Structure formats: structure tokens, C-alpha cells
Amino acid sequence: MSGHSIACLHIIQSALSAIHWESGLAERSVDTVLIEGLAVDTVVGVYDWEREVTQRLLVDLEMAWDNRVPGASDNVADALDYAAVSERVTQCLQVLQPQLLERAAEEVAAMLQSEFGVRWLRLALHKPGAVPSARSVGVRVERGVRA
């Protein structure tokens, strides 16, 4: 192969790798941070009696986060801090006192996206005592773009 052809090949390879990078196909993280079974006692429910008592909700969360950054720095400031998120989710549900789990899910999801910069999340809210013949009932939502 001539020197000219090799030079052309290099140019084509560089252009292709630039396109690959720009298109976001390169090294995209699909990492997540998890919270499972977070117990939150709050006023929740549609019936009159439910507005007079607190009931337990269990929260499961999976949130997209590029864990390579805190993985390299070992610094919690680079991580999605699951302790801070747990505290804020608890506060959000205790202030909201929603009737429906659907309303609670929307509020928590929007808060996580706006306050913590979470680009994608899957959130399940369980209300274990609501239907005595079921182990648990609840809702699951997915919001944002995963990758």
C-alpha cells in the first residue's frame, strides 16, 4: 500500500471515530445506583380513615449514574449519594401526603430528576398493608432516557 493510501486510511479512521464519539455510541455508561425497600411512614390513601393514620410505603429505586467517576476518585461528591437521596425521598413523601401512589411516584421522580440530575430512573412504590390478601400492591414508573 502506498504512503498516500495509508494517509487516506488514517483520515477515514479518524473521521469514523469522531462520528462514533459524537453519536454517543462510545463508552456510554449504563451504571445505576440502587435503593431497595426504603421504609417511609406517611399519610397516604384515598379513604377518609386513611387521612387519619400513617401507613408504611416501601420504595425501590434504580437511578442511572456514571459510576466510573466516583469509582476513579473514591469521592462521594462525585457519586449519587444514596443516603442523601433516601432522606429527600422520605421528606418528599411525608410532606406530600398523597392520596394515590401514582401521584407520589410522579412527585418523587420529578424531584430526583430536577434536584439530583438523575437522567433515568425506575421507581416502585409498595403499600404492603393495603390489600390484606396480597403480599404487596403498588405502582412502578420509569422516567427519562436510560442511555
Ligand X SMILES: Nc1nc2c(c(=O)[nH]1)N=C([C@H](O)[C@@H](O)CO)CN2
Indicate which residues carry an active-site annotation: 127
By CB under 6 A, the residues from 45 to 64 that bind ligand X are 45-47, 50
Q: Which is nearer to ligand X, 70 or 98 (CB)?
A: 98
Which CB, 80 or 125, lies closer to ligand X? 125
Q: Where are the beta strands (DSSP E) in the chain?
A: 32-42, 55-64, 120-126, 138-144
Query: Are β-strands 120-126 and 138-144 bridged in parallel, bridged antiparallel, or unpaired?
Result: antiparallel
Question: 86, 84, 105: which is closest to 96 by C-alpha?
Answer: 105
**Choice between 118 and 126, CB closer to ligand X:** 126
CA 120 – CA 58 distance, rounded (Å) = 20
Per-residue binding string, ligand X, 114-143, x by CB under 6 A, is -------------x--x-------------
Q: Does 101 bind ligand X (CB under 6 A)?
A: yes
DSSP annotation of 127: -
- Summarize as ranges the residues that interact with ligand X (CB under 6 A): 45-47, 50, 100-102, 127, 130
